[in-house]
Amino acid sequence: MASPEKRKRVVAIVAAFGWLGGAAVTQWWPTADDWPYTRELLILKLVFAVLSLALAIAGSRSSGSASQKDSRLGNWIGAWLNAAPWLLALAIALTAWEIITAQLEWLPRPFFAPPQALIGVFGDDFPRLASSVAHSFGLLAYGYVIGALTGFVVGVSIGWSKAVGYWLHPILRLIGPLPAVAWLPLAFFFFPSSFSASVFLIALATAFPVVVLTWSGVASVSPAYYDVARTLGARPAFLIFRVAIPAALPSVFVGLFMGLSASFAVLIVAEMMGVKAGLGWYLQWAQGWAAYSNMYAALLVMALMCSGLITLLFRVRDRLLAWQKGLLKW
């Protein structure tokens, strides 16, 4: 029976042939219309074919040497080999998409664009798209950081102090479940600019899940931890910063993940309503001009941006909670 590493290398080789087959379709099956950037699509498929084949070759070499297998390069190659099935699925999906839209035109234009059109957007409209990404990232960073810090402080306060919880808990139950976009008219009325109003809405969407999960994490800390610390002479500040908060960090990060998803949704809505730049504005502009390929390109960028931020947050969590690996199920 083949080992898992060998099966992964076989899948990588099959993925290479899948990309080569897709390149053959692009090269020798004429399109129904003269789509630009077809040559660039062909080059992209050939690059992925070479990448898949290189992963298979590198995986076979790294598995033959124990020293290389334990190295960082071996771990990196192994991580990419785990993605070999996705490389194969992507080759099949991209080729099917091209055949349905560019070669056969089974889907109506301009609502469904071929992959060549998306490459054209990144080639021709890159400055405007990059500017929108930069603006959205800055707006998201401001709102998310403010909301996360505020939610963390409020959540720790409610979980630690019954007096604070008495006054803030009813307000939290009243305001928290409401969608942040419901406050859009009031935000644009009270804040001096659309940027500051958008920051407030993003912070509000981020703060609620962070507050709830931080509060839950602090409140669920075992009393035995506090008893041991008090026996050793710990003061309240030590109990908060060295006992309650570290023990509640797993719940805090769950709230941060939920807040990131909520803030991203509010970001797009806020940029559609009042901000003069950003991915939300770019989507609205593309829809108004019936530039659906631009809209799909923006959606792809948004998905990659959100996925990258979630991956970064996972890395931060793994580094900060490395000391809890023996206590948690990772």
- The pLDDT of residue 170: 87
294 and 189 within one domain: yes
Instruction: Report the alpha-carbon distance of residue 245 to residue 248 in Å, rounded.
Output: 5
Same domain, residue pair 96 and 47? yes
Domain boundary among 97, 116, 135: 116
Distance, CA of 268 to CA of 254 (rounded, Å): 22
Residue 294 lies inside a defined structural domain of this protein: yes
Measured CA angle at 260 (ends 273, 316), to 5 deg: 145
Q: Do 280 and 136 reside in the same domain of the chain?
A: yes
Residue 159 sits in the same domain as residue 55: no
Which SS3 state, helix, strand or coil, does residue 329 take? coil
Give the pLDDT of residue 68. Answer: 44
Q: Is residue 121 part of a domain?
A: no
Q: How many domains does the chain have?
A: 2
pLDDT of residue 187: 86
Please report, for the domain that includes residue 160, its CATH number: 1.10.3720.10
Residue 179 lies in a domain: yes
Q: How far apart are CA 78 and CA 75, in angstroms?
A: 5
Q: What are the residue ranges in the chain where pLDDT is below 50?
A: 1, 66-69, 328-330
- State whether 139 and 43 are in the same domain: no
pLDDT score of 69:
45
In terms of domains, do 187 and 107 share one? no
Pair (41, 146) in one structural domain: no
Cis link prior to 85 (omega < 30° from 0)? no
Structure tokens at 325: 């690996």
Q: 154 lies in a domain?
A: yes
pTM: 0.85
pLDDT digits (tens, 9 = 90+) for 5-41: 788 888 899 999 999 999 999 999 998 888 889 999 9
- Same domain? For 150 and 86 the reply is no
Percent of the chain with pLDDT over 90: 46
DSSP 147-201: HHHHHHHHHHHHHH-HHHHHHHHHHHHHHTTS-GGGGHHHHHHHSSSHHHHHHHH
Task: Tell me how far apart the alpha carbons of residues 250 and 121 are, in angstroms, rounded to a whole number.
Answer: 41
164 and 22: one domain? no
Q: What is the pLDDT of residue 72?
A: 66
Q: Is the dihedral of CA 264, 270, 272, 275 positive or negative?
A: negative
Q: Are residues 104 and 52 in the same domain?
A: yes
Find the helix or strand (DSSP H, E) in which 244 lies. Answer: none
- Whether residue 180 sits in one domain with residue 157: yes
Q: Which of 116, 136, 168 is the last residue of a domain?
A: 116
Q: Tell me the residue range of the domain where 91 lies.
A: 4-116
Assess whether 131 and 97 both reside in one domain: no
What's residue 73's pLDDT?
A: 63
Task: Tell which of 116, 140, 163 closes a domain.
Answer: 116
Does residue 330 lie within any of the structural domains? no
Specify if 70 maps to a domain.
Answer: yes
Is residue 61, in this structure, part of any structural domain at all?
A: yes
